[in-house]
Amino acid sequence: MEDLKRKIRFVFIPYLLVSAGYIIIYTFLDWLLFIQFKTLNMQPLVIRCWIPMATYWIFVYLFLWRRLKKLRLKNPKKEPQFGIVIVMCVVMLPPVALSQIYIAEATGKLSTLENIDELNISESTRYYTLKNHYFDKRDAGLYTVYRTSGKGNNTFNVELFYTVPIFEKESDTTKRECSAWLGVKYRDYFNNRIDQSEKDKRCRMFEQQAHDNFKTINLDSFSYLQQLDYDENTAYYNSALKFSSKYFENNTFILKRCYGAFEDRTDNNLTWIIVTFGLGATLVFLCFLPPTLSEADVEEFKSKRSNKNKVY
């Protein structure tokens, strides 16, 4: 029991503080650099996963590694530190990713526009409401993507990207260009190992279903609009724009429909951040159970830190 108490005080509580501090600092920098000032355009996957994977271990090394080195297994030839660090890095990804989603949604501003042309004279925000609008489906651009994904490319994906010109009213469709577009996406996927003839048949069937749905869908059924994030779909939507006669090089502002109350846009993200952080901390705590931590090692650590902080 004393050994467990030592590990909680010496390793586990510092781990919680370091991890919570990392999430707060990283989320603040994400908001400052990528949301507030938009210094770089990066895909959400890079911001939410790859950068944390590349940086969190630095925090672990700077603030926790010397403490972790004091943990001992019964077999002196085995060291638990590397395995524990790997677990720490893996369980940190869900709360970090959810935190970036939450901060983007929670800090996004809502602008109310009389018509879509007011985009050109108003502040750029993440969310919009339109009082007067018309979606010109007759002049929509379409780009179809066929690609494989998954382990061993065992999943075949077919995706249809529509970009619909947005005007104030139907009579404005005679204009040569529009101020913004509405993005609509259809996707289907199936086993990539099936026969090519069956694959072609399923693709044609899905494409026809998507076309029929697009013709009849009521695009006016939305609560508010959101500016599309820069992600792996951006290039496909931009390609779809070029198949519309309303496309000009600079009018590439694309929105998507959102449903529900604007106040509920973050859903339960904050709750899930806490839940995933707690589950991850539980797994890390379980990793601390097998190793032992002696009082002598703790005192040695404190002594070295005390000597290092002395001013001569």
Residues 72 and 150 in one domain: no
Q: Look at residue 208 and tell me if it is in a domain.
A: yes
Per-residue pLDDT tens over the stretch 228-283: 998 989 999 999 999 999 999 888 999 999 999 999 999 889 999 999 999 999 99
Q: Report the C-alpha gap between 19 and 95 in whole angstroms.
A: 10
Q: Look at residue 9 and tell me if it is in a domain.
A: yes
Per-residue pLDDT tens over the stretch 7-36: 999 999 999 999 999 999 999 999 999 999
Q: Look at residue 147 and tell me if it is in a domain.
A: yes
Residues 20 and 61 in one domain: yes
Q: Are 228 and 189 in contact (CB under 8 A)?
A: no
Q: What is the DSSP letter of 35?
A: I
Q: CB pairs under 8 A, 24+ apart, for 294-300?
A: 294/70, 294/72, 295/2, 295/6, 297/70, 297/72, 298/6, 298/10, 298/70, 300/70
Residues 151 and 252 in one domain: yes
Give the model's confidence band at 312: pLDDT under 50 very low, under 70 low, under 90 confident, else very high: very low
The pLDDT of 53-74, averaged and rounded, is 94
Return the top range by mean pLDDT from 40-44, 79-83, 167-171. 167-171
pLDDT at residue 41, rounded to an integer: 84
Residues 149 and 230 in one domain: yes
pLDDT at residue 310, rounded to an integer: 56
pLDDT at residue 89, rounded to an integer: 96
Residues 40 and 11 in one domain: yes
Residues 275 and 247 in one domain: no
Residues 195 and 233 in one domain: yes
Residue 5 scores a pLDDT above 60:
yes
Closest to 171 (Cα-Cα) out of 132, 123, 204, 129: 132
Domain range for 228 is: 140-219+224-258
Q: Look at residue 215 and tell me if it is in a domain.
A: yes
Q: Look at residue 31 and tell me if it is in a domain.
A: yes
Q: Look at residue 113 and tell me if it is in a domain.
A: no
Residues 230 and 287 in one domain: no
Residues 231 and 163 in one domain: yes
Q: What is the pTM of this model?
A: 0.89
**Total tally of structural domains belonging to the chain:** 2
Residues 100 and 189 in one domain: no
Within 10 Å of residue 216's Cβ, how many Cβ atoms? 7
pLDDT at residue 81, rounded to an integer: 92
Residues 6 and 103 in one domain: yes
pLDDT at residue 308, rounded to an integer: 66
Residues 27 and 73 in one domain: yes
Q: Look at residue 194 and tell me if it is in a domain.
A: yes
Q: Look at residue 132 and tell me if it is in a domain.
A: no
Strands 254-258 and 180-191: parallel
Q: Enumerate the β-bridge partners of residue 130.
A: 113
